[in-house]
Amino acid sequence: MLSKRNKEVLFNPLSNDNPVLVQILGICSALAVTVKLEPAIVMGLSVIVVLSFSNVIISLMRKTIPTSIRIIVQLVVVAALVIMVQQFLQAFSYDVSKQLSVFVGLIITNCILMGRLEAFALNNKPWPSFLDGVGNGLGYMIVLVIIAFFRELLGSGTLFGLTVIPNWCYEHGYMNNGLMILPPMALITAACIIWVHRSRNKDLQEKSN
Amino acid sequence: MNKNSNSYQILYAAIMVIVVGAVLALVATSLKPRQQDNIANDTRKQILSAIHQSAPSDDQVEATFNKFIVCDYLVDTTGAKVDTTRNCAFDVNMKTNIKEEHPKLPVFEANVDGATKYIIPMYGAGLWGPIWGYVAVNDDGKTIYGAYFSHASETPGLGAEIESENFQKRFNDKTLRYQDGQVATPSVEKKGTGDDQIDAVTGATITSKGVDAMFKKCLAPYAAFFASKGNGQQACDKHDCEKPDCDKPACCQQGECKK
C-alpha cells in the first residue's frame, strides 16, 4: 500500500515540494480565504477532496485522453467535481455551503489542480495519483492555516471567531492591525513563511551567481 | 486506434460532455428537494433571528417558525392587505419586487410574548454582491424590535461583520420617523449614536452604505402600512373606547367610540 515511492508522493508536498511554498501555485486563493481560520480550513478540505478525486479520475482515463484536448478534459472533470461538491454541500450541510459560497467555485481556477493533473495523474496509476492529491491538498491546507492564523490573530484579535487578545491589552492602547485583513498582507505573510522555510531547507535555496 | 485523429477527439469530447452533463443533471435533480427545504428553513431561521428567536435544533425550525409567526400577507403601498394566503409572503422575490411601480409588499406578523411584531424583508447591494435582511418593527409602527442581515460575498472581517450579532443589535430600539407619508429610516453612519442613527462597521464603508440604502429603499413603500399602525398616535387602550370623552376613534371598532 505505502511503498517508499508512495510515501514520498504523499509526504513530499507537505514541505520539500510544497505546492504553495516551493512551486508558488494557488497563491490567489491563499489570499482570498485566509482572513479567518475557519473558511481556510474548509477550503483546504474541499481542495483535498476535489484534488484527490480528480487525480484518480484523470489517472483512470489517462490512456484514452487525446493529447491535444487534455487540458479541456481536465477542466471538465474538475468543474464537474466542484459542482457536485457544491450541490452536496447545499443539500446536506447548508450552513457550510453558505460560508464557502464563492470559494468552492474558486477551486476550479486553482492552479494546483491543473498542475497536479498535468504533471502527475496523466502519467501515473490511480492509487499513487490519489496519494499525490491528498499530499498536495494537505500541503496547500497547511500553508493556508498558517497564513490565516496570523491574519486572524493580528487582524481581528480572534482565533476561530473567539477573542484571544485579552481586554487589558486593548485598554493599554493595543489595536488590531486592519492592514492584516487586506489581501496584500496575505502575500507578505506567505513571503515570510517562504523565507523561514527556505532558510531551514538549504537544498531549496537558489544558487547565487 | 489513432488517439490524435480528428474523429477520435470529436467523439471523445462529445461523449465526455454528454456523460458529465447527464451525471450533473441527475445529481442536481435528485438533490433539489433537499436543497429547497434547506433554503426555506434557512429563510425561516433568518426571519426568526430578526425577532431574536432561534430553533433548538435544525429539525424544529419549521415548528418554531409556525409558533412565532402568526400570519403573513401582502400589502400594497396604501397599506391595504391584498393577499392573505398562508406563505404568500414567502414567494415574493424582493430583488425584482422592489423595482416595480406597484409592489406587493410582504409582511410577516409575529407574536412574541403577546406583543405583535411586523417583519419586513429587505434586499440590496453590498460591496461585492447582494446583501439582504429582515427588520422587525413593534406594533407602534415606529420602533425597531430587531434586525437581521446577511450577505453573499462581503469581505470576511470587514463587510461580512453585518452578519454578526454585534452589528445587528445596534438596530434594536431605534426609531423610524415619518415625514409627509415618507419613512425616514435610521441612517447607518460613522459613530452614529442617536436614536435614528446606527454605528457603521469600521473599515466597511461601502457595505455600511449598502445597508443604509437597502434600509431606506425597502422600508419606504411601507410608509402607509406603518402609519396605519398608530404611528404618531398614543398607544391604543380598549378602555378609552368606553369613556364618554373618547378621542381616539382610530383605536376602536366602528360605533364603539362614543364620540
Residue B80 in domain = yes
Instruction: Find chain A residues with C-beta within 8 A of B39's C-beta.
Output: 94
Domain count across chain B: 1
Size of interface A-B (CB pairs under 8 A): 71
Closest approach of chain A CAs to the CA of B150, in angstroms? 10
Q: Does the distance separating the beta carbons of B24 and A80 come in below 8 Å? A: yes
Instruction: Please give the pLDDT value at position B63.
Output: 86
Question: From the CB of residue B258, how many other CB atoms can be counted at a distance below 10 Å?
Answer: 12
Model confidence pLDDT, tens digit, residues A127-172: 999 999 999 999 999 999 999 999 988 888 888 878 888 888 888 8
> At residue B138, what are phi and psi to the nearest 5 degrees?
-65, 170
* Probe site for chain A from B34, B127, B149 (most A CB atoms < 10 A): B34
Closest CA to B181 of B143, B221, B136: B221
DSSP chain A: ---HHHHHHHHGGGTTT-TTTTT--SHHHHHHS-SSHHHHHHHHHHHHHHHHHHHHHHHHHTTT--GGGHHHHHHHHHHHHHHHHHHHHHHH-HHHHHHHHHHHHHGGG-HHHHHHHHHTGGGS-HHHHHHHHHHHHHHHHHHHHHHHHHHHHHHHSEETTEE-S-HHHHHTT----GGGGSTHHHHHHHHHHHHHHHHH-GGGSPPP-
Residue B132 in domain = yes
Q: Does the distance separating the beta carbons of B8 and A66 come in below 8 Å? A: yes
Closest approach of chain B CAs to the CA of A174, in angstroms? 17
Closest CA to B219 of B88, B128, B118: B118
Residue B40 in domain = no
Cell of B40: 426555506
* Terminal C-alpha separation, chain B: 99
Residue A209's pLDDT band, with cuts at 50, 70 and 90, is low
Taking 50 as the pLDDT cut, the residues of chain B under it are: 231-236, 251, 258-259
Instruction: Please give the pLDDT value at position B30.
Output: 93
Q: Does A1 touch chain B (CB under 8 A)?
A: no
Point out which residues pair with B185 in neighbouring strands: none
Q: Which of A69, A91, A178 sits opposite B38 (nearest CB)?
A: A91
Q: Does B165 touch chain A (CB under 8 A)?
A: no
Instruction: Please give the pLDDT value at position B94.
Output: 78
Q: Does B195 touch chain A (CB under 8 A)?
A: no
How far is B78 from B223, CA to CA, in rounded Å?
8
Instruction: Please give the pLDDT value at position A143.
Output: 92
Residue B49 in domain = no
Look up the pTM and report it: 0.71
Q: Distances in Å between the alpha carbon of B29 and those of A93, A97, B35, B83? A: 17, 18, 10, 32
Residue B164 in domain = yes
Instruction: Please give the pLDDT value at position B27.
Output: 93
Q: Which domain holds residue B211?
A: 58-227
Say how many CA atoms lie within 13 Å of B185 toward its Cβ.
25
Model confidence pLDDT, tens digit, residues A10-53: 888 888 888 888 888 888 777 778 888 888 888 888 889 899 99
Point out which residues pair with B144 in neighbouring strands: B137
Model confidence pLDDT, tens digit, residues A83-120: 988 888 888 888 778 767 667 777 887 888 888 888 88
Q: Which of A69, A102, A178 sits opposite B13 (nearest CB)?
A: A69
Average pLDDT, chain A: 86
Instruction: Please give the pLDDT value at position A196.
Output: 92
Point out which residues pair with B120 in neighbouring strands: B135
Residue B103 in domain = yes
Interface of B with A in 9-28 (CB under 8 A): 9, 12-13, 16-17, 20, 23-24, 27-28
DSSP chain B: --TTSHHHHHHHHHHHHHHHHHHHHHHHHHHHHHHHHHHHHHHHHHHHHHTT---SSGGGHHHHHHHHEEEEEEE-TTS-EEE--TTTTTT--HHHHTTSSSPPEEEEEEEETTEEEEEEEEEEE-SSSEEEEEEEEETTSSBEEEEEEEESSPPTTTGGGGGSHHHHGGGTT-B-EEETTEEEPPEEETT--STTEEEPPTT-HHHHHHHHHHHHHHHGGGHHHHHTTTTTSPPP-HHHHHSTT---GGGS-TTTS--
Residue B147 in domain = yes
ipTM over 0.90: no
How far is B77 from B222, CA to CA, in rounded Å?
6
Residue B71 in domain = yes
Q: Does the distance separating the beta carbons of A64 and B152 come in below 8 Å? A: no
Q: Does the distance separating the beta carbons of A178 and B16 come in below 8 Å? A: no
Q: Does B42 touch chain A (CB under 8 A)?
A: yes
Instruction: Please give the pLDDT value at position B253.
Output: 52
